[in-house]
Amino acid sequence: MPPRKPNQNRSSHHNGSARMVLARLREKSGKSLSDLAADTTHDRIYLHKLETGVKLGSPDVMEALDKAYGTDEHLVHLCVLARADGIKDKYRHFMEREREATMRYEYASSTIPGLLQTESYAREQLRTARPADDNELDAQVITRLDRQAPLHGEDAVEFRAVLDESAVRRPLSDADAWSEQLAHLLETAELPNVTLQVLPFSAGLQHLLGGSLTLLWLPGGRNIAYTESAYSGDLVEDPTDVEQLRLSYDLVRDSALSPRESVALIREILEASPSCEPPDSTSAKPHGGSPATATRTGATA
C-alpha cells in the first residue's frame, strides 16, 4: 500500500476561513478598502492581500480589524489557529527530514534541546504548553524521547549542540530531576558522535539569542534549517537563507566555551546541586582545553 499523502487542505483550513470571513465582513459593513485602511491604519494593499489569502496577517492587524468590525476577538482567534496549523505542518515536515540527516547542528537559547532531554525534563517542559490532558502529554513525551534514537547505533548522526548558559542554569521544579538532567548531559557528551558546548553569559549578545536553530545535513549534500521561538517555527530550505543561518551558528559556536570547558561548567553546576553525584570526570572524552567557569569566553575546539 502506498504511503498516505498528507492532507494538504488541513493547514490552509483556518487561513481559508479567515479569508472568507474578512471578505464577508467588509461586504456586510459596506466599507471600501480605503475606509478600512483609515480605520485600522494598515495599508489598503496589505488588507486586500489578507482578504485574498496572499498574506496570513498578524494578531495585531486582526485585533485592529476586530475593533473596526465590532467582532470582539473572533478574527484574532482565527489568526492564531491558522498560524498554529502552519507551524504544525512545517514541524511535521522537519521531523521527516531529521530522520534522514547525517549531521545535525543545534543552538538552544533557553532550554535543553529535545535530543538531550530526560523524560522528567521533557514532561515538565511540555506541560507548560498546557496539553488537553495527561494522555496527550504522555504521547508528546514518548514522541520526543523517540526522536533521540538517531544519537545512538551504528548510523548515529553527528550532533553538535551549543547551549546558552541560561539553559544549563534554569532548573526544574524537582531538584532530583534537574540533577538527573545535568548528569544526562555529561553522559551524552561522552558519545563519540556528540559535541556539546555552552555559550557563556560573558559572550554577550549574539544574533541567535531569543530562539533556537537546527541545521540538518541531508544525503546528497542538501542543507535545511528550522528556527523556532515560543509561538512560531519556520522551516528554511532556500540555500541562501540556510547559509546565512549557518554563518550565524558558526559565530555563536566560536564564542562558546570549548567542549572540555563546557563539560567542566556543567559538572560544576551539578556539583552545586544537592541531589545527585556527577559522573566520574575521568570518563569524559578528551576535547582539549582546560576547565573554565562561565566567566571565561572560550573558543571552539
Q: What is the pLDDT of residues 190-248, one digit of tens each?
A: 999 999 999 999 998 888 887 899 999 999 889 999 998 776 778 899 999 999 999 99
Of 57-66, 97-106, 143-152, 175-184, highest mean pLDDT = 175-184
Q: What pLDDT score does 102 carry?
A: 93
Q: What pLDDT score does 289 carry?
A: 39
What residue spans in the chain does CATH classification 3.30.870 cover? 99-115+147-283
Q: What pLDDT score does 24 carry?
A: 83
Q: Which residue has the higher pLDDT, 291 or 71?
A: 71
Whether the pLDDT of residue 7 is over 50: the answer is no
Range of lowest pLDDT (11-25, 51-65, 168-182) = 11-25
Q: What is the mean pLDDT of the chain?
A: 82
Q: What pLDDT score does 121 carry?
A: 97
Of 4-18, 32-46, 241-255, 262-276, highest mean pLDDT = 241-255
Q: What pLDDT score does 97 carry?
A: 81
Walk across the sheet containing 194-199 and list its strands: 194-199, 158-164, 103-108, 212-217, 223-229, 232-236
List pLDDT tens digits, range 76-122.
777 766 555 554 565 677 777 888 899 999 999 999 999 999 999 99
What residue spans in the chain does CATH classification 1.10.260.40 cover? 10-84
Cα 1 from chain centre = 34
Of 58-62, 158-162, 202-206, highest mean pLDDT = 158-162
Confidence class for position 295, pLDDT limits 50, 70, 90: very low
Q: How far apart are CA 44 and CA 184, in angstroms?
A: 54
Q: Contact at 8 Å (CB) between 258 and 264?
A: no
Q: Which residue has the higher pLDDT, 15 or 259?
A: 259
**Fold that domain 99-115+147-283 belongs to in CATH:** Endonuclease; Chain A (3.30.870)
Architecture of domain 10-84: Orthogonal Bundle (1.10)
Span 248-257, average pLDDT:
96
Q: What pLDDT score does 199 carry?
A: 97
Q: What pLDDT score does 271 carry?
A: 95
Q: What pLDDT score does 23 carry?
A: 81
Q: What pLDDT score does 269 carry?
A: 97
Work out the percent of the chain whose per-residue pLDDT is above 90.
43
Whether the pLDDT of residue 299 is over 80: the answer is no
Q: Contact at 8 Å (CB) between 210 and 218?
A: no
Whether the pLDDT of residue 53 is over 90: the answer is no
Q: What pLDDT score does 214 carry?
A: 95
Confidence class for position 50, pLDDT limits 50, 70, 90: confident
Q: How far apart are CA 134 and CA 140, in angstroms?
A: 10
Confidence class for position 298, pLDDT limits 50, 70, 90: very low
